Amino acid sequence: MVVCWLIVVFNLVFYAYLLFSYGQYNDLSLKFLVNTFHLSKLHVSIIKVSFVIHEVQYLAIWTFTQAMNHKLLPYFIVDCRIVMTSDILFVELQG
């Protein structure tokens, strides 16, 4: 679990550093918003902070899902057989 938090923190710091340190935008959706609507620096900074918050959610979901798959997958492996009867699809679990 500590490794997952380290991965999330490292990736988040790197993403925020790239987003705030350079004048260019590495996110295409942010670049589109800034170029299309000609936003002020204050509005761009607010949007950048919201992008960082969404990045936290994305990184945490991706990282902890991978950790759960790694820890729990060997315990929940079951045999699966897909049966098609007329127009209904059944999945039979054995194990």
Residues 31 and 51: their CA atoms lie apart, in Å, by 12
pLDDT at 85 over 60: no
Q: What share of the chain is helix, strand, coil (3-state, %, to 5)?
A: 70, 15, 15
Q: Please provide the average confidence, as pLDDT, over all residues in the chain.
A: 75
Question: What digits encode the pLDDT tens for the residues 28-62?
Answer: 888 888 889 988 989 999 999 998 999 888 888 88
Domain assignments of the chain as residue spans, ordered by start: 2-94
Q: How many CB atoms lie within 10 A of CB 8?
A: 19
pTM value > 0.85: no
